[in-house]
Amino acid sequence: MRVLLFLLTVSIASLQAQDLAVLKYKGGGDWYSNPTSLPNLIVFCNENIQTAMNEKPETVDPGSTDIFQYPLLHMTGHGNVFFSDEDAENLRDYLISGGFLHIDDNYGMSQYLPKELKKVFPNQELQELPASHPIFSAAYRFNTGLPKIHEHDGKRPQALGIFYEDRLVLLFTVESDLGDGWEDPEVHGDPASVRQKALQMGANIVKYAFEN
């Protein structure tokens, strides 16, 4: 009954809403980092891929039914992540019912996140997406896959995903730091070309999440 209610909730919300929300997770990590990034991405998407999102995204808790109002949740930070059993069950219901979660490692999440994702999908492993995946051409084409925005450890950027019934439901972007590229220009001093790549890849994620 609970899953059926969630399915109905998502179906109704998807007809009425086209917004994203920030996921406020537990564990002490700075879920609130990059305060200018999502507003800038939203403006870019509204102007370039014909979305109509609220420019001030709401904040939601992983254990709340509020997440079912949004086709896309965004999560970022530098540190520890913790999902309670209730959080994990709610996120799983959200994702298998049509929702999408983008987790952007702002440098430091990757050592904590995989074990928490095991609570959400115990039998799933993160797998790297090939450059041919549709998310890399949803609005703008990235022939080599996820772009590199910030150097950090100098490792190659990776787009890691979890699938449910052949649908990509979760995207974890690592060693790229898209969110830093979405921030106001003066925050990191990125050249316009780098910020443009970050915003275009962000638009791809938004378009893919809204349409799949």
For strand 100-105 and strand 20-23, is the pairing parallel, antiparallel, or unpaired?
A: unpaired
Separation between Cα atoms, residue 22 and residue 31, nearest integer Å: 8
Q: Compute, in degrees rounded to 10, the torsion defined by CA atoms 203, 204, 209, 212.
A: 140
Domain spans in the chain, listed from the N-terminal domain onward: 2-211
CA angle 53, 24, 31 (to 5 degrees): 95
How would you write the pLDDT of the chain (212 residues) with one tens digit per residue?
A: 444 444 444 443 443 468 999 999 998 888 888 889 999 999 999 999 999 999 999 999 999 999 999 999 999 988 899 999 999 999 999 999 999 999 999 887 888 899 999 999 999 999 999 999 999 999 999 999 999 997 767 789 999 999 999 999 999 999 998 999 999 988 877 899 999 999 999 999 999 999 99
Measured in degrees and rounded to the nearest 5, phi and psi for residue 81 equal -130, 140
Domain 2-211, CATH homologous superfamily name and number:
Domain of unknown function DUF4159 (3.40.50.12140)
Q: Full-prediction pTM beyond 0.85?
A: yes
